[in-house]
Structure 1
Amino acid sequence: MEESRPSVGMIGSGSWATAMLKMLGDNTSSKELLWWIRKEEDLAYVRQYKHNPTYLSAVELKVNPENLYQSARTVIQKSDIVILNTPSAYLEVALQDVEAADFEDKIIVSAIKGIVPGDNLIVGEYLQRNYQIPLENIVVVGGPCHAEEVSLEKLSYLTLAAKNNDNALRVAAVLQNRYIKTVTTSDVFGVEYGAVLKNIYALAGGICHGLGYGDNFQAVLVSNAIREMEKFVFAIDAEESRDINASAYLGDLLVTAYSQFSRNRTFGNMIGKGYTVQSAQLEMNMVAEGYYASACIQNIIQQYGLDMPICDTVYQILYNKQSAASEVVKLTEKLS
Structure 2
Amino acid sequence: MEKVAVVGGGSWATALVKILSENKSEIHWWMRNKEDVQHLNEYRHNPRYLSQVSFDLAYVKPHTAIAEVVAAADWVILAVPAAFVQQALEALPTNAFDGKVVISAIKGMIPDQNVLITDYIAQRFRVPDSHQLVIAGPCHAEEVAQEKQSYLTIGSHDLDKAEHFCQLLRNRYVKANPLDDLDGIEYCAVMKNIIALACGIARGLNFGDNFQAVLVSNAMFEIERFLDAIMPLHRELSGSAYLGDLLVTAYSQFSRNRTFGNMIGHGYTVKSAQIEMNMVAEGYYAVQSIYELNKKLKVEMPITNAVYLILYERISPAVEFEILKEKLR
Q: TM-score range by the shorter chain?
A: over 0.9
Q: Of 13, 16, 32, which residue of structure 1 is paired with 2:12?
A: 16
Q: What is the 5 A alignment of 1:185-204? A: 185-204=179-198
Are the aligned partners of 2:306 and 2:321 in contact in 1 as well (CA < 8 Å)? yes
Are the aligned partners of 1:25 and 1:63 in contact in 2 as well (CA < 8 Å)? no
Q: What is the 5 A alignment of 1:244-259? A: 244-259=237-252
1:205 matches 2:199: yes
Q: Of 126, 132, 142, which residue of structure 2 is paired with 1:132?
A: 126
How far residue 65 of structure 1 moved from its aligned partner, in angstroms, is 8.2
Q: Of 310, 319, 324, which residue of structure 2 is paired with 1:326?
A: 319
Instruction: Describe the superposition over 1:158-180 as per-residue Cα deviations: whole angstroms up to 9, x where unpaired.
Output: 00000011110121111111100
1:270 matches 2:263: yes
Are the aligned partners of 1:162 and 1:168 in contact in 2 as well (CA < 8 Å)? yes
Q: 2:173 aligns to what?
A: 179
- Range that drifts further, 326-335 or 58-67: 58-67
Counterpart-to-counterpart distance in 2, 1:294 and 1:10: 27
1:231 matches 2:249: no
Counterpart-to-counterpart distance in 2, 1:109 and 1:241: 24
Instruction: Describe the superposition over 1:200-232 as per-residue Cα deviations: whole angstroms up to 9, x where unpaired.
Output: 000000000000000000000000001111111
Are the aligned partners of 1:100 and 1:133 in contact in 2 as well (CA < 8 Å)? no
- Range that drifts further, 169-178 or 191-200: 169-178
Which SS does the other structure have where 1:184 is aligned?
A: strand
Instruction: Describe the superposition over 1:124-181 as per-residue Cα deviations: whole angstroms up to 9, x where unpaired.
Output: 0011111111011000000110000000000000000000111101211111111000
Moved over 4 A (4+): none
Which SS does the other structure have where 2:4 is aligned?
A: strand
Cα distance change on mapping 1:66 and 1:59 into 2, 3 Å: closer
Q: 2:89 aligns to what?
A: 95
Which SS does the other structure have where 1:103 is aligned?
A: coil
Which SS does the other structure have where 2:28 is aligned?
A: strand
- Whichever residue aligns with residue 216 of structure 1, its letter is N
Are the aligned partners of 2:96 and 2:125 in contact in 1 as well (CA < 8 Å)? no
Task: List alignment gaps of at least 5 residues for structure 1.
Answer: none
Which SS does the other structure have where 1:189 is aligned?
A: helix
Task: List alignment gaps of at least 5 residues for structure 2.
Answer: none
Counterpart-to-counterpart distance in 2, 1:118 and 1:47: 37
Q: 1:288 aligns to what?
A: 281
How far residue 99 of structure 1 moved from its aligned partner, in angstroms, is 1.4
Q: Of 46, 52, 55, which residue of structure 1 is paired with 2:46?
A: 52
- Range that drifts further, 193-202 or 63-72: 63-72
Equivalenced residue count is: 329
Q: 2:216 aligns to what?
A: 222
Cα distance change on mapping 1:284 and 1:66 into 2, 3 Å: closer
Are the aligned partners of 2:29 and 2:60 in contact in 1 as well (CA < 8 Å)? no
Q: Of 143, 146, 151, which residue of structure 1 is paired with 2:145?
A: 151
TM-score by length of 2: 0.98
Q: CA RMSD in A?
A: 1.0
- Range that drifts further, 191-200 or 228-237: 228-237
Counterpart-to-counterpart distance in 1, 2:179 and 2:119: 18
How far residue 66 of structure 1 moved from its aligned partner, in angstroms, is 7.7
Counterpart-to-counterpart distance in 2, 1:190 and 1:63: 37
Counterpart-to-counterpart distance in 1, 2:59 and 2:211: 50
Which SS does the other structure have where 1:67 is aligned?
A: strand
Counterpart-to-counterpart distance in 1, 2:50 and 2:301: 36
Which SS does the other structure have where 2:299 is aligned?
A: coil
- Range that drifts further, 66-75 or 114-123: 66-75
Which SS does the other structure have where 1:101 is aligned?
A: coil
Instruction: Describe the superposition over 1:83-126 as per-residue Cα deviations: whole angstroms up to 9, x where unpaired.
Output: 00000001111101111211011110000000011321110001
Cα distance change on mapping 1:137 and 1:66 into 2, 3 Å: closer
Counterpart-to-counterpart distance in 2, 1:190 and 1:285: 30
How far residue 67 of structure 1 moved from its aligned partner, in angstroms, is 2.3
Counterpart-to-counterpart distance in 2, 1:158 and 1:152: 16
- Whichever residue aligns with residue 12 of structure 1, its letter is G
